[in-house]
Amino acid sequence: MSTAKQVDPAAAAELFIIHDQIHEPMHDRFLWATMQRRHAEAAAVPEWEELREIASKIKEHTLTHLDHYLEEFEANATKRGAHVHWAVDAADHNQIVYSILQDHGVTDLIKSKSMLQEECQMTPFLQQRGIKVIESDLGERIQQLDGQPPSHIVFPCIHKTREDVAQLFARTIGTDPNNEDPHFLTEEMRNNARPRFLAAGAGMTGGNFAIAETGTFMVCTNEGNADIGAAVPPLHIASVGIEKMIPRVEDMGVFLRLLARSAEGAPLTQYSSHFTGPRKGGELHIVLVDNGRSRRLGMPEFWHSLKCIRCGACMNTCPVYRRSGGLAYGATYSGPIGVILDPTFDEFKYSELPFHSSLCGSCSEVCPVKIDISDQILKWRRVMAGKGYLPLAKKLSFAVAGHVFAHPEEYHVVEQAAEPAMSYAPHFLLFNRTLNPWVRDRELPQPAKKSFREWYLANRSKHGNVQQ
Amino acid sequence: MTQPETTVQRTLPDNMRIGLFIPCYIDLIYPEVGIATLQLLERFGLNVGYPLNQTCCGQPMSNSGDEKNAQPAERLFVENFKEFDCIVGPAGSCVKQVRCHFDRLEQTEDVKHVRQNTYELVEFLHDILKVESFPWAEFRHSVAIHNSCSSIRGLSIAKPSEIMGVPFDKTANLLSKVKGIVVVPVDRPDDCCGFGGTFCVTDEAVSARMGIEKAHDHVRHGAEYVVSPDMSCLMHQHGIAQRASLDLKYIHVAQVLNGGPY
């Protein structure tokens, strides 16, 4: 068991909701609108459901032959002049990156968005060693300036209003606090960022896909920031999770059609860049990172989570995520995909996450690679319950409920006890009267004067299957 | 917006025995839903039996991952219903529990039989009986339909908005055969209402937020009634609407199709 404190997403989500009347409704509305765009874009592709199935199959095939494709990728990338490194975990990844930077005497690093680098906690590691690290993605830069991790894997600062950003920029880069026009704010940040691209000794990116047959990796962005970061400094380092492998270039025709439509309801990201070997006069390093992925690949009930292409559609569609904000999950990955990924890093710390879901199932249906997210959430609940990580009140109450429901004679006593209305709902839901949050925002249902069973005995006792 | 009309009414064998599955909360809080379901099935001349030893399908425990405390209830369910040809219950999430989540029990012939032959009421009427009319039913009100997440995504009672293809809604299809009814469209028909079983108390703030938005969506479109195949969602929504003093009434689809009791 880890020594980390359990995160409490329900409590954090409550703070997001009651904080004011602005943030949570805005967050919900924006992501709901994104989903409507996604539906419209998906509907415009007649073979959408077939594409999802093919994408899922390609990912399953690749993951079940991962050793083969990783070696093929390494051989082809090396042939094209890239340096390929293997990182077994986060510490290894960070050390490899640091060594490359040291070898080149780099002190200023500009990086584009990478959830993997976030997962590895790379930025604090490098900063502690005197490297200046600047995020070049606008949303990530906003989060960096605010000292917060990204709250969404595609829209890092989606929980912030434009007023929040205006205040933040006023504080950190000296803009007018009363000017919250998005064009103005973006332009100010653009001007602020340009010199940093020029000053950087190295640019870092992630990788959305890694193509084994060519040793190419792809980076998809809307701002073109990854491309400048890769093109201006002489050194390009890319962090790529081992699950990003795709066998062939032609497979990209499947994934690119799904990615941006699922992520943001757009046909494509503005930039879909292929990096095959270093550019002329430059140097390219690719760090292939495991960090728990091969262990996850060995988990029969959970390995499908490795198919994820990080589009964030499950987050946008999730009614719980939309009301909670991503920071409530207290983990690198938030929303439904986070609920099934985070416990693979620390089961105890993230043991409450699988319960932060209404199990509505929308995530599984929207997922472009058909990960059974909702089923995996339930399976993680089983893991947590099996380890005794169920919240104490829930565990105690189920022991009583489980017993009563297994013994009809005891159930009928409860049934006929004419419980006072005010204590009924807790019995049904938790069998725990003292800790009942039902009534905070809801009226209690009234128990009927006569149960169905009593009615049946009085009205149909000669009918059907009476076993008195 | 619905599936093509079905034309052939399937004749079930005379000796077919239907087991009436009345979930615990319907038994105790909403007996009128159980009565409506039974009367409705009897109108079609079916041989319906109600096993008196039924308690709960185990869903509250199973849903929380607590298999140890769920399995005795699940085994009892199989015992109670294994002799029936078909089992019908007016509750999507409970039927989904039986069909999809009895997977940790030893898969005996009885368990397999019960899982394969348990139907939610709407799908039973729509897909098995293929009912074409409810001449006894009349409901002169505007209603919003709330198909539960379990019914939509677990039992395919309606097309989820995430999946591409021809839209269908079996609940709407059945209700359209009721005289006088006006079904109003809503903005977010298949966005979860926030009930989610124990979720509604363990994640109270988020659940309540989801619930109140659902209620406002219904009010905004002029619904007098919210009609659902899942009374558990409505129990939550009703509690929310009452607290917020919203003028909405909540009833089960069986009550509308049977013409009461209300």
Tell me: the pLDDT tens digits for B151-171?
999 999 999 999 999 999 999
Q: Delimit the domains of chain B by residue range.
A: 17-128, 142-258
- Report in angstroms the alpha-carbon separations of A211 from A207, A297, A309, B5, B86: 10, 19, 14, 48, 51
The domain total for chain A is 2
Q: Taking CB atoms and an 8 Å limit, are B50 and A39 in contact across chains? A: no
Q: Could you report the per-residue pLDDT of B209-248, keeping only the tens digit for each?
A: 999 999 999 999 999 999 999 999 999 999 999 999 999 9
Mean predicted confidence (pLDDT) in A24-33: 98
Q: What percent of chain B has pLDDT over 90?
A: 85
Looking at per-residue pLDDT, the higher value among B202 and B121 belongs to B121
Q: Is residue A373 one of the residues assigned to a domain?
A: no
Cβ–Cβ < 8 Å for A135, A310: no
DSSP string, A383-413: HHHHTT-S-HHHHHHHHHHHHHHH-HHHHHH
From the centroid of its chain, how far is CA B115? 16
Q: Which amino acid is at B98?
A: V
pLDDT of A245 strictly over 70: yes
- ∠ CA B155-A300-A387, nearest 5°, is 90
**Cis link prior to A368 (omega < 30° from 0)?**
no
Kindly determine whether residue B149 and residue A362, on different chains, have CB atoms separated by under 8 Å.
yes
Decide if B8 contacts A429 (C-beta within 8 A): no
Angle between helices B204-220 and B231-243 (to 10 degrees): 80
Q: Which chain A residue lies closest to B234 (C-alpha atoms)?
A: A445
Taking residues A48-64, report their average pLDDT: 98
Say how many CB pairs under 8 Å bridge A and B. Answer: 261
Looking at per-residue pLDDT, the higher value among B211 and A429 belongs to B211
Q: Which residues of A touch B213 (CB under 8 A)?
A: 28
CB contact under 8 A, B54 and A408: yes
At A434 the pLDDT is 45
Q: Which residues of B touch A455 (CB under 8 A)?
A: 31, 34-35
> For residues A399 and A411, what is the distance between their CA atoms, to the nearest angstrom?
14
* Confidence class for position B66, pLDDT limits 50, 70, 90: confident
The mean-pLDDT minimum among A383-387, A393-397, A438-442, B177-181 falls in A393-397
Per the CB < 8 Å rule, is A362 touching B64?
A: no
User: Per-residue pLDDT for B9 more than 80?
Assistant: no
Q: What is the mean pLDDT of residues B9-21?
A: 77
Looking at residue A467, its pLDDT comes to 42
Residues A353, A339: contact at Cβ < 8 Å? yes
A429/B239 Cβ within 8 A: no
Whether residue B28 and residue A448 make contact (CB cut-off 8 A), yes or no, is yes
Instruction: Tell me, yes or no, whether A82 and A206 share the same domain.
Output: yes
Mutate which: A320, A370, A442, vs B, most B CBs within 10 A: A442
Amino acid A415: pLDDT: 64
pLDDT of residue B11: 55
Question: Would you say residue A2 has pLDDT above 80?
Answer: no
Is residue A169 domain-resident? no
For residue B133, the distance in angstroms to the closest alpha carbon of chain A comes to 26
Provide the pLDDT for residue A436: 67
State which amino acid sits at residue A244: K
Q: Give residue A443's pLDDT.
A: 82
Chain A residue with CA closest to B250: the answer is A445
Residues of B in contact with A360 (CB under 8 A): 149, 153, 192, 196
Order of strands across the sheet that contains B142-145: B182-183, B142-145, B225-228, B249-252
Report the residue of chain A nearest B236, measured CA to CA.
A442
DSSP H/E element including A379 = helix A373-386
Mean pLDDT of B92-121: 96
Give the CA radius of gyration of chain B: 18
- How far apart CA A237 and CA A99 sit, in angstroms, is 12
In a domain, A11, yes or no: no
Residue A68's pLDDT band (boundaries 50, 70, 90)?
Answer: very high
In a domain, A145, yes or no: yes
First to last CA, chain A: 50
Structure confidence at residue B1 (pLDDT): 38
Q: Which residues pair with B250 in a beta bridge?
A: B226
Residue A88 has pLDDT above 70, yes or no: yes
Predicted confidence (pLDDT) at residue A421 exceeds the cutoff of 50: no
Chain A contact set for B238 (CB, 8 A): 443, 445
Range of weakest confidence among A83-87, A211-215, A439-443 = A439-443
User: Which residue on chain A is closest to B27 by alpha carbon?
Assistant: A452
A217-221, A249-253, A393-397, B191-195 — which is least confidently predicted?
Answer: A393-397
Q: Establish if A334 belongs to a structural domain.
A: no
pLDDT surpasses 90 at A426: no
How many angstroms separate the CA of residue B17 from the nearest CA in chain A? 9
Among the partner residues A24, A45, A385, nearest to B64 by beta-carbon distance:
A385
Alpha-carbon distance of B95 to B118, in angstroms, equals 7
Q: Which of A361, A365, A398 sits opposite B66 (nearest CB)?
A: A398
Please give the order of strands across the beta sheet that includes A271-275: A245-246, A209-211, A216-221, A271-275
Q: Which amino acid is at B189?
A: P
What's the confidence (pLDDT) of residue A4?
80
Domain of residue A206 covers 45-158+200-291
With a CB cutoff of 8 Å and minimum separation 6, the contacts of A435 are A393
Chain A partners of B54 at a C-beta cutoff of 8 Å? 408
Cβ pair B243:A442 closer than 8 A: yes
- CA pseudo-torsion sign A345, A351, A357, A359: positive
Residue at a domain's end among A291, A322, A342: A291
How open is the CA angle A164-A170-A176, to the nearest 5 degrees?
Answer: 105
For A439, which residue in chain B has the nearest alpha carbon? B239
Closest by CA to A32, choosing from A369, A368, A375, A366, is A366
Chain A residue with the nearest C-alpha to that of B70: A402
Closest-CA distance, B115 to chain A, in angstroms, reads 18
B189 CB contacts (<8 Å, ≥6 apart)? B145, B147, B161
Contact in structure between B201 and A430 (CB atoms under 8 Å): yes
Conformational region of residue B58, where left means phi above 0, alpha means psi within -120 to 50, and beta covers everything else: left
CATH of the domain at A233: 3.40.50.10420
> Which of the following CATH numbers is that of domain B142-258: 1.10.8, 1.10.760, 3.40.50, 3.30.960?
3.40.50
pTM above 0.90, yes or no: yes
- Would residue A444 count as lying in a domain? yes
| % of chain A beyond a pLDDT of 70 | 91
Pair (A273, A408) in one structural domain: no
> What local confidence, expressed as pLDDT, does residue A283 receive?
97
Please count the other Cβ atoms lying within 10 Å of the Cβ belonging to residue A149. 18
Neighboring chain B residues of A365 at a CB cutoff of 8 Å: 153, 160, 162-163
Query: Of A231, A259, A291, which closes a domain?
Result: A291
Sheet-wide strand order for B86-89:
B47-49, B17-20, B86-89, B118-120
A383 contacts B65? CB cut-off 8 A: yes
Per-residue pLDDT band for A310 (boundaries 50, 70, 90) equals very high
Last residue of a domain, one of A291, A309, A328: A291
Question: What is the band of B202 on the pLDDT scale with cuts at 50, 70, 90?
Answer: confident
